[in-house]
Amino acid sequence: MAKVVLKLGDDISTDIIYPGRFMATVLPTETPQYTFADITDFNARLKKSEIPQGSVVVGGKNFGCGSSREQAASCLKGSGLAVIARNFARIFQQNSVNLGLNLIICPDLEANEGDELEFTGDTVVNQTSGKSFGTVPLPKSLQATLDAGGLIPYTRQRLLHGKTLTGMK
């Protein structure tokens, strides 16, 4: 079970997730302090450790659009959050998988802040409303990275064990 701690609308840009003025901070260990920095009350709760690990941010369509800044994925990962959205913008989705941030694509999800969600394979069950919603798997192109636990271990495997293609067609 995971609680919805923040509900957002469509087209949430990486400028909202991680405002550009904090981009001089790059290391994944340091970025979580600026997660949703301009949603000041939520950022304050994160900083006071009031948000349990594994909590969920719910977005609409095109979550993570805009800049390729990887801080947007690393800050969410470092804050212990997962994201469920109708769909994700390409670069953000790729960055998230590369870093091991948990993304769930759920086109029809209905959920409000405070709702408790349960994930069962290809379904999200909103325990608060009692409704279930189907999920869409991440693109197959990302499977090899997912299987390896992120792009750093996957690239390391490829360096050590040569260029055997995995996850093709």
Partner 1 sequence: MGMTMVEKILARAAGLAEVRMGEVVEPRVDLAMSHENGALVLNQFNEIYQGTGLEAKVWDPSRIAIIFDHRVPAESAKTATNQKKVREFVAQQGITKFHDIRGDEGGICHQILPENGYVRPGCVVVATDSHTTTHGALGSFAFGIGATEMASVWALGCALNVEVPGTIKVVVDGKFAPYVLPKDLILYLIGQLTAEGANFKVLEFHGETIRSMDTSGRLTLCNMAVEAGATSGIVPPDAETLRYLREVAGVTENVPIFGPDPDAIYERVIEIDAASLGPQIACPHTVDNVKPVEAVAGQPVQQIVIGSCTNGRLDDIEMAARLLEGKKIARGVRMLIFPATARIFREAMRAGYLSTLMEAGAVVANSGCGPCLGIHQGALGDGEVALSTTNRNFKGRMGNPKGEVYLCSPAVAAASALTGVITDPRKGS
How far is the C-alpha of 58 from the C-alpha of 50, rounded, in Å? Answer: 18
The CA radius of gyration of the chain, in Å to the nearest whole number, is 16
Q: Which stretch binds partner 1 (CB under 8 A): 42-50, 76-84, 91-99, 125-133?
A: 91-99
User: Both tokens of residue 13?
Assistant: 């840009």
- Chain centroid to CA 150: how far? 13
φ/ψ bin of 129: left (φ > 0), alpha (ψ from -120 to 50), beta (otherwise): alpha
Site track for partner 1 across 109-138, x = CB under 8 A? ------------------------------
Q: Is 54 in the site for partner 1 (CB under 8 A)?
A: no
Query: CA dist 63 to 67, 68, 88, Å?
Result: 12, 13, 5
Which of 64, 82, 86, 81 is CA-nearest to residue 16?
64
Q: Is 169 in the site for partner 1 (CB under 8 A)?
A: yes
Q: Which of residues 94 and 126 has its CB atom nearest to partner 1 in the complex?
A: 94
Binding to partner 1 in span 55-84, by CB under 8 A: 61-62, 65-70, 73
Which residues of this protein are in contact with partner 1, per CB under 8 A?
11, 13, 15-16, 19-21, 23-27, 38, 61-62, 65-70, 73, 87, 89-91, 94-95, 98-99, 139-142, 144-145, 150-152, 154-156, 158-160, 163, 165, 167-169
